[in-house]
Structure 1
Amino acid sequence: MYDALLDAVMRGQLRPGERLVEPLLCERFGVSRTVVRQALHRLGELRIVDIVPNKGATVARPGPRETRDIFAARRVVEGGIVRAVARRITHGEVDRLKQRLRAEHEALHQQDHARWVALAGGFHLALAELSGNAELQRILSELMTRCSLIVALYEVPGESTCEHEEHEQLVEWLSLRDGAAAADAMDRHLLALEARLQLPPDDGGVEMA
């Protein structure tokens, strides 16, 4: 159940702010409320779900400030990932990344948006796997899931959230085993991705005084 809900968020099937009704989830998965609450609690720990006492659970709605924090974290994590990949990548792994890029290009030109989104996000996760660092993989997976909510909220219609050409540049630097250049390219790529979102102004928060 946890995996199914997480996948539904990643694919945009569950939208930010959508209510997750316990009786319906019990019926859909054939489980008790205890199991439902355990799954929702785990999703809440990842900040994928907001749980309010006496009101229930909803899919989280990241605000502008949280969005910027998440992208700042991704720049740090993914910069480290590509540096690690550049040190250890093999010719065969470069070839497999290029195969992924060809699949991205095909989905893009066939206007298969759902497949292209999955491949574009999968590219970043594939790099994390190549780093050989399980903790970086786990952290990035959580950040990517939260980014799926952000894209669902703030993506500008007609805009690509992940440019194919930017992925090609990353693979080129990695094939040359240039970690510094790959990290710079990743930083620019994520900054551009964030800039393509239409974020509302910050509410400024509340001053406790």
Structure 2
Amino acid sequence: MPWRKGEVSPQMEQIGERAGAIYRALRLAILEQALEPGTKLPEDAIGEQFGASRTVVRRALELLASEELVDIRPNRGAAVAKPTPAEARDLFSVRQDMERLVVKRVCGRLTPQQVERLEAQIAAEERAIYEGRPEYIRLAAEFHLLLAEMSGSPLLARYMRQIVGRSALVLGLYGRPQWSNCSVHEHRDLLAALISGDVERVNTMMHAHLDAVQA
């Protein structure tokens, strides 16, 4: 059956679905540092692993590149992004500003349901750390993404998703050892301060928290 201009063909829909699955799997591996910065991502090997064509794999890599999690270079292929020290400093400087916007929107305004969700997120972080599971890295990042989602601004949440994802690369390269053991306690302190509604105190704590994890 022919499709009209502007419609998506069934074949293109299938490519999109399969590319999305590969994108999510690779993104998860990057955030949990199973794929370290600089790791090459050959299209043929990924396609073989997922049973997908190179066209589908390329689309997934392009999605990751749009979030600056993957670098794609002509004649050199794709690799997990490897931010320089200067890029890392710039990233966290911008992130500090974005986190302040999030704090301004959520401080003192969290609903009981939102508080419960954040507490569950912190508990999941603690379990992952205690059990030595690598997803604690992703879970710690998701705490900040949850706050951004609760800000009520889809635009802010989208930008935070990109910058927090790239932050995981920076922490893998330059973060202090065992930073997560401290950050989970800091998340509990941040949540308590957010509930209290003291914006200035939360901003000070958030600044110290981000400085600590990247030190």
Counterpart of 2:162, as a letter, is E
Q: Secondary structure at the match of 1:79?
A: helix
User: Structure 1 CA distance, aligned partners of 2:105 and 2:94?
Assistant: 17
User: Relative to 1, partners in 2 of residues 1:95 and 1:42: Cα closer, same or farther, differing over 3 Å?
Assistant: closer
2:25 aligned residue = 4
2:98 aligned residue = 77
1:181 aligns with one of 172, 190, 201: 201
User: Structure 2 CA distance, aligned partners of 1:115 and 1:23?
Assistant: 27
Shift, 1:159, TM fit = 4.1
Q: Deviations over 1:115-174 (max 9, x none)?
A: 432332221111112112111111111111111111222234444375223212211121
Q: Secondary structure at the match of 1:15?
A: coil
For structure 1, the 5+ residue unaligned runs are 196-209
The alignment's TM-score, normalised by the length of structure 2, stands at 0.81
1:121 aligns with one of 141, 153, 158: 141
Counterpart of 1:135, as a letter, is L
Matched, 1:133 2:153: yes
User: Structure 2 CA distance, aligned partners of 1:193 and 1:128?
Assistant: 19
Matches within 5 A, 1:1-209: 1-86=22-107, 88-108=109-129, 110-160=130-180, 163-195=183-215
Q: Secondary structure at the match of 1:47?
A: coil
Counterpart of 1:42, as a letter, is L
Counterpart of 1:86, as a letter, is C
**In terms of mean alpha carbon deviation, does 87-96 or 120-129 score higher?**
87-96
Percent identical among aligned pairs is: 40
Q: Deviations over 1:9-45 (max 9, x none)?
A: 1111111111111111221222222222222222222
Q: Secondary structure at the match of 2:134?
A: helix
User: Relative to 1, partners in 2 of residues 1:162 and 1:72: Cα closer, same or farther, differing over 3 Å?
Assistant: farther
User: Structure 1 CA distance, aligned partners of 2:132 and 2:195?
Assistant: 28
User: Relative to 1, partners in 2 of residues 1:53 and 1:105: Cα closer, same or farther, differing over 3 Å?
Assistant: closer
User: Structure 2 CA distance, aligned partners of 1:75 and 1:50?
Assistant: 24
Shift, 1:82, TM fit = 1.5
The alignment's TM-score, normalised by the length of structure 1, stands at 0.83
Q: Secondary structure at the match of 1:20?
A: coil
Q: Which has the higher contact order (CA 8 A, sep 6+)?
A: 1
User: Relative to 1, partners in 2 of residues 1:72 and 1:118: Cα closer, same or farther, differing over 3 Å?
Assistant: same
User: Structure 1 CA distance, aligned partners of 2:127 and 2:57?
Assistant: 39
Counterpart of 1:29, as a letter, is F
User: Structure 2 CA distance, aligned partners of 1:62 and 1:89?
Assistant: 34
User: Relative to 1, partners in 2 of residues 1:167 and 1:55: Cα closer, same or farther, differing over 3 Å?
Assistant: same
Q: What CA RMSD, in Å, does the superposition of the two structures yield over aligned residues? A: 2.0
Aligned residue pairs: how many?
Answer: 194
User: Relative to 1, partners in 2 of residues 1:161 and 1:49: Cα closer, same or farther, differing over 3 Å?
Assistant: farther
CA contact (8 A) 2:174 2:214 kept: no
User: Structure 2 CA distance, aligned partners of 1:162 and 1:156?
Assistant: 11
